[in-house]
């Protein structure tokens, strides 16, 4: 009889309950992969009296992290609590007491990754975090291990399931943004306070983690240009479709020499391409490596069991010793990889513009004249015969050819100051492949 | 200065040259991932005098495997020669002399996997084989490690790039099978003798390897029902498209209780689903796990650098010690996982039939009557107004509702014996999601 490995779990919410369920229901299968049984020894929660949907067989509950950190029989702990505090202090406490940590907390890593990773390395411990990005999609392993022979050239991801659910509902049902958000909340795909999801924060934090893995640098997530989906309306989606595109919240990092260009925001993706076909709560990641070419991964990016699947895979990896190796080599990456990042000033791509113009003669000539002065050439224009007035304006939709983003931004700021424009114009990136 | 790890390479064809190129061109990047430089110490080839596209810096060439196997300074060897012999004998020689082996040879593993894996375990060595299935797609790691917490329910894959290239050309250009094959050969996507690719052998061998990883059993590949694309004609693709489908060579394993249902053959896949959108030399794998749900992977399945990317990732994994761990735990899997496989007799799905019928009254009633007698209900029928004669026949295309494959096969064998049918009917599986 092989001695089981005893683990601790911190947090018994949706993900924590899923992890316990998986460890119990698939115990035989998991113990074969781990080479020994995995037993939940102790659980730390915020309220021990709360009624739980799962029973922890033999696991004793406490609200005190020392219940786990000071137990020498526990070597691996899954930290499955969200937010920054007390999660950060708890991880520090666990690492200082010699525990290897598995976590799904992307906000914690995006905010405090450098110090936590450094602490783990000093303590000769590891942090595994497959579940922190794209749920069940093994993107952390893919970048950190499977594509190790490649220099990564770009990563594009749909990393926030809530936003993607909302956009898919708007596009397929013609719902308004607010109705789609309510439906997402009703179906458990959005929190009561969805702001971190719909304003792009969540996707940006995940992008910062992927960039760390791919390029060995920690870019502070708050410095990454970010736009959410909360400013989108259904008309934008309809115009995009008319041009052969869908709108997705896309997180992008491109490498050019020693610079990284990063951003998160709604972008037009061509119908028929993998990102455009990513619907509902699914996540997707497209990576280009110099040797492997373009790789595409698609799967459930959130939800109880997909996330639990990634957490338990990390627990197994930590138990058998793979995580320690990977965590050590990942730390060696940041030697001569890109160390600066750029704010997309050099980006050349197609742009989608919606400008609300006064419905009177000469307007189109004036707008296109300003674009032309900035070297922006127009691929297509849509202006429908809608009833507008000089006061409310009518939408003018323009798809540009490839041009510098900085030129488009400058042109738009001039256009928005003219007396023929009503309200603020919208400018979105266009991703053609 | 950290001592470099010295490796041997057997075979300097397309993949071997790519591996050398990647190890040289990305040496800094790779050494960071491996924690130390990786140097090609010795190379074994079949003809030392052949002109090579790559130079092996410092590596000395020989035709004798003992040049590598007896060199105590070499611990890891990439065996990149195709075919069964001398590859099998060479791997045995390498393992017996204490070398860890990395290989891309799927035929060798499908044919001799059990004995080679057992030998490696007895010698406390490892065999890494990410490159043997789906080229650059990290599907071996995904199943063996990343989805370890899941009981796999099904795998569907487009695993042969040559077949997929040919089918895509037929569908997009309207080419005949033989013209598309010639184009594939001209573009380096098909061998001079393409039979192993187009008859489904290659995909079947890869499926056997994936089933081993997912279920811990070695199903002899030759026992897996297999149909190639060599019997397809352009009309079949056109009828499929008319019904909203494309035709792909799909390798399938489904698990039901303790049985595996496996097969390889052309199948109709719905336009808009990921398998249908897999074009050209790309490969794709869709996996359903009980916790993670449906995962989809897409990438270049063959070619020099994508395959080299997977080989070098395996070399790195072996150097740092991850492979040894994974190889050990994979060996523990075959305890109570499915041990029998079934020949699709229980499969329930939709079927696509093309029956060449005599163009005279009462034929449709007779055919559909036979189908009805076998409990097969019809979803749609296509019979175009083409000029046929009672002798040559006209095509009758039928899409069934869900029904047992065995019933369809029985009905077709009766239908093909009637005097109203000309030639053999075609029956293909339909995969709707």
Rounded to 5°, angle at Cα A173 from A247 and A180:
75
DSSP three-state, residue B85: coil
Q: pLDDT tens digit string along A268-297?
A: 999 988 899 999 999 999 999 999 999 999
Q: pLDDT tens digit string along B186-224?
A: 988 888 889 999 999 999 999 999 999 998 888 899 999
Residue A233's closest CA among A423, A430, A431, A432?
A423
Q: Which of A291, A320, A325 to mutate to test the interface with B (most CBs of B within 10 A)?
A: A291
Tokens 């450098």 — which residue? A114
Do B427 and B368 belong to one domain?
yes
Give exposure, B136-175, as e/b (b: 16+ Cβ within 10 Å).
bbbbbbbbbbbbbbbbbbbbbbbbbbbbbbbbbbbbeeeb
In the predicted model, is pLDDT for residue B12 greater than 70? yes
The ipTM is: 0.91
In the predicted model, is pLDDT for residue B255 greater than 60? yes
Residue B44's closest CA among B90, B89, B84, B83?
B90
User: CATH number of the domain that A368 lies in?
Assistant: 3.30.70.260
pLDDT-derived band at B272 (thresholds 50, 70, 90) equals confident
Do A155 and A273 belong to one domain?
yes
Rounded mean pLDDT, A323-345: 68
Q: Is B424 on the interface with A (CB under 8 A)?
A: no
B372 occurs within a structural domain: yes
| Rounded distance between C-alpha atoms, residue B177 and residue B233, angstroms | 6
Q: Where are the beta strands (DSSP E) in A301-372?
A: 340-342, 348-357
Contacts of B313 in chain A (CB under 8 A): 145-149
| Rounded distance between C-alpha atoms, residue B348 and residue B241, angstroms | 23
Do B158 and B219 belong to one domain?
yes
Q: In this structure, what are the phi and psi dihedrals at residue B184, rounded to the nearest 5 degrees?
A: -60, -40
Q: How many domains does chain B have?
A: 2
Ordered DSSP codes for A6-64? EEEEE--SHHHHHHHHHHHHTHHHHHHHHTS-EEEEEEE-S-TTS--SS--TTPEEES-
Tokens 């163009």 — which residue? B359
Omega before residue B86 within 30° of 0, cis: yes
Q: Are strands A259-270 and A340-342 parallel, antiparallel or unpaired?
A: parallel
> Which pLDDT belongs to residue A388?
58
Q: pLDDT tens digit string along A2-26?
A: 899 999 999 999 999 999 999 999 9
A372 occurs within a structural domain: yes
Burial of A365 (0-12, 13-18, 19+ CB in 10 A): exposed
First to last CA, chain B: 54
B83 occurs within a structural domain: no
> Which pLDDT belongs to residue B80?
96
Q: What percent of chain A has pLDDT over 90?
A: 76
Nearest CB neighbour to B299, from listed A145, A295, A309: A295
Tokens 């089981």 — which residue? A4
Judge contact between B251 and B209, C-beta under 8 A. Answer: no
Burial of B225 (0-12, 13-18, 19+ CB in 10 A): middle
Do A26 and A71 belong to one domain?
yes
pLDDT-derived band at A55 (thresholds 50, 70, 90) equals confident
Domain boundary among A268, A300, A332: A300
User: Which of left, alpha, beta for B98 (phi over 0: left; psi -120 to 50: alpha)?
Assistant: left
Do A210 and A105 belong to one domain?
no
Element spanning B210, H or E: helix B201-215
| Rounded distance between C-alpha atoms, residue B104 and residue B309, angstroms | 11
Nearest CB neighbour to B336, from listed A28, A149, A310: A28
Q: pLDDT tens digit string along A111-162?
A: 999 999 999 999 999 999 999 999 889 999 999 889 989 999 999 999 999 9
Q: Is A26 on the interface with B (CB under 8 A)?
A: yes
Judge contact between B432 and B379, C-beta under 8 A. Answer: no
Domain boundary among A125, A160, A181: A125
Handedness of CA A311, A313, A314, A319 (dihedral sign): positive
B399 occurs within a structural domain: yes
* Beta-carbon separation of A32 and B335 below 8 A: yes
Contacts of B272 (CB under 8 A, 6+ apart): A277
CB pairs under 8 A between A and B: 197
Domain that holds residue A396: 348-431
| Structure token pair of residue B238 | 């056109």
Q: Tell me the pTM.
A: 0.93
Q: pLDDT tens digit string along B91-118?
A: 999 999 999 999 999 999 999 999 999 9
Tokens 């065996």 — which residue? B79
Rounded mean pLDDT, A422-426: 92
> In chain A, whose CA is at the least distance from the CA of B38?
A149
Domain boundary among A243, A268, A300: A300
User: CATH number of the domain that A32 lies in?
Assistant: 3.40.50.720
Task: Tell me which residues of chain B, numbers 306 to 365, contact chain A at a CB-CB cutoff of 8 Å.
Answer: 306, 308-310, 312-313, 316-317, 320-322, 325-326, 328-329, 332-333, 335-336
Q: Alpha-carbon Rg of chain B, whole angstroms?
A: 24
Do A120 and A156 belong to one domain?
no
Ordered DSSP codes for B239-294? HHHHTTEEEEEEEEEEEETTEEEEEEEEEEEETTSTTTT--TTEEEEEEEETTTEE
Integer CA distances (angstroms), B409 to B206, B288, B376, B426, in order: 26, 28, 11, 10
Judge contact between A205 and A82, C-beta under 8 A. Answer: no
Tokens 């920054």 — which residue? A84
In the predicted model, is pLDDT for residue A333 greater than 70? no
Q: pLDDT tens digit string along B387-400?
A: 656 567 899 999 99
Q: pLDDT tens digit string along B235-251?
A: 999 999 999 999 999 99
A142 occurs within a structural domain: no
Do B283 and B364 belong to one domain?
no
Nearest CB neighbour to B33, from listed A148, A277, A316: A148
Q: In this structure, what are the phi and psi dihedrals at residue B354, rounded to the nearest 5 degrees?
A: -125, 120
Judge contact between A331 and A319, C-beta under 8 A. Answer: no
Do A66 and A175 belong to one domain?
no
* Beta-carbon separation of A32 and B329 below 8 A: yes
| Structure token pair of residue B47 | 């003809």
In the predicted model, is pLDDT for residue A54 greater than 90? no
Do B362 and B278 belong to one domain?
no
Burial of B365 (0-12, 13-18, 19+ CB in 10 A): exposed
Do B260 and B355 belong to one domain?
no
SS3 content of chain A, % helix, strand, coil (to 5): 40, 25, 35
| Rounded distance between C-alpha atoms, residue A235 and residue A139, angstroms | 34
Judge contact between A388 and A394, C-beta under 8 A. Answer: yes
In the predicted model, is pLDDT for residue A344 greater than 70? no
B169 occurs within a structural domain: yes
pLDDT-derived band at B381 (thresholds 50, 70, 90) equals very high
B262 occurs within a structural domain: yes
Q: Is B32 on the interface with A (CB under 8 A)?
A: yes
In this predicted model, which residue has the larger pLDDT, A183 or A391? A183
pLDDT-derived band at A336 (thresholds 50, 70, 90) equals very low
| Rounded distance between C-alpha atoms, residue A424 and residue A220, angstroms | 29
Q: Which of B36, B138, B142, B291 to mutate to test the interface with A (most CBs of A within 10 A)?
A: B291
Do B174 and B290 belong to one domain?
yes
| Structure token pair of residue A21 | 């369920």
User: CATH number of the domain that B235 lies in?
Assistant: 3.30.360.10
**Exposure of B158 in the CB half-sphere (CA atoms within 13 A):** 37
Judge contact between B380 and B352, C-beta under 8 A. Answer: no
Burial of B290 (0-12, 13-18, 19+ CB in 10 A): middle
Ordered DSSP codes for B332-401? T--SSS--EEE-STT-EEEEEEEEEE-SSTTHHHHHHHHHHHTTPPEEEEE-------TTT-EEEEEEE-
| Structure token pair of residue B260 | 């595996």
Do A261 and A206 belong to one domain?
yes
Judge contact between A68 and A77, C-beta under 8 A. Answer: yes
A197 occurs within a structural domain: yes
| Rounded distance between C-alpha atoms, residue A210 and residue A129, angstroms | 11
Catalytic member of B206, B238, B259, B360: B206
> Which pLDDT belongs to residue B309?
95
* Beta-carbon separation of A306 and B293 below 8 A: yes
First to last CA, chain A: 54
| Rounded distance between C-alpha atoms, residue B154 and residue B349, angstroms | 15
Which positions of A are annotated as active-site residues?
A: 206
């Amino acid at each position: 009889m092989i001695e089981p490995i005893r683990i601790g779990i911190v947090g018994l919410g949706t993900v924590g309950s899923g992890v316990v369920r998986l460890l119990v229901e698939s115990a035989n299968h998991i113990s074969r992969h781990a080479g020994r049984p995995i037993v939940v020894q102790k659980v730390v929660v915020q309220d021990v009296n709360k009624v739980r949907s799962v029973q922890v067989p033999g696991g004793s509950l406490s609200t005190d992290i020392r219940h786990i950190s000071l137990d020498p029989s526990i070597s691996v702990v899954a930290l499955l609590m969200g937010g920054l505090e007390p999660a950060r202090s708890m991880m520090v406490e666990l690492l200082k007491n010699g525990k290897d940590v598995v976590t799904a907390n992307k906000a914690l890593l995006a905010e405090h990754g450098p110090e936590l990773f450094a602490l783990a390395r000093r303590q000769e411990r590891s942090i595994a975090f497959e579940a922190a990005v794209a749920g069940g999609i093994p993107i952390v392993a893919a970048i950190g291990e499977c594509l190790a022979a490649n220099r990564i050239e770009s990563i594009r991801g749909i990393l926030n399931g809530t936003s993607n659910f909302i956009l898919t509902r708007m596009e397929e049902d013609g719902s308004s943004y607010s109705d789609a958000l309510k439906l997402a909340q009703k179906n458990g795909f959005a929190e009561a306070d969805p702001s971190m999801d719909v304003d792009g924060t969540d996707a940006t934090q995940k992008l910062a983690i992927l960039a760390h893995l791919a390029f060995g640098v920690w870019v502070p997530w708050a410095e990454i240009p970010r736009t959410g989906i909360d400013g989108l309306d259904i008309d934008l989606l309809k115009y995009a479709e008319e041009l052969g595109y869908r709108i997705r919240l896309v997180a992008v990092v491109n490498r050019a020499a020693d610079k990284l260009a990063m951003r998160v925001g709604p972008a037009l993706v061509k119908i028929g391409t993998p990102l455009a076909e990513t619907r509902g709560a699914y996540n997707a990641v497209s990576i280009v490596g110099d040797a492997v070419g373009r790789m595409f991964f698609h799967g459930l990016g959130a939800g109880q069991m997909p996330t639990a699947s990634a957490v338990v895979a990390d627990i197994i990896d930590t138990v058998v010793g793979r995580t320690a190796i990977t965590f050590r080599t990942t730390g060696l990456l940041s030697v001569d990889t890109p160390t600066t990042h750029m704010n997309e000033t050099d980006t050349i791509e197609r742009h989608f513009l919606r400008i609300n113009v006064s419905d009177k003669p000469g307007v189109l000539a004036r707008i296109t004249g300003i674009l032309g002065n900035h070297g922006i050439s127009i691929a297509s224009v849509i202006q429908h015969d809608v009833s507008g007035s000089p006061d409310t304006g009518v939408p003018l939709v323009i798809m540009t050819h490839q041009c510098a983003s900085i030129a488009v931004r400058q042109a738009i700021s001039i256009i928005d100051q003219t007396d023929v424009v009503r309200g603020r114009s919208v400018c979105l990136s266009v991703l053609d492949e």
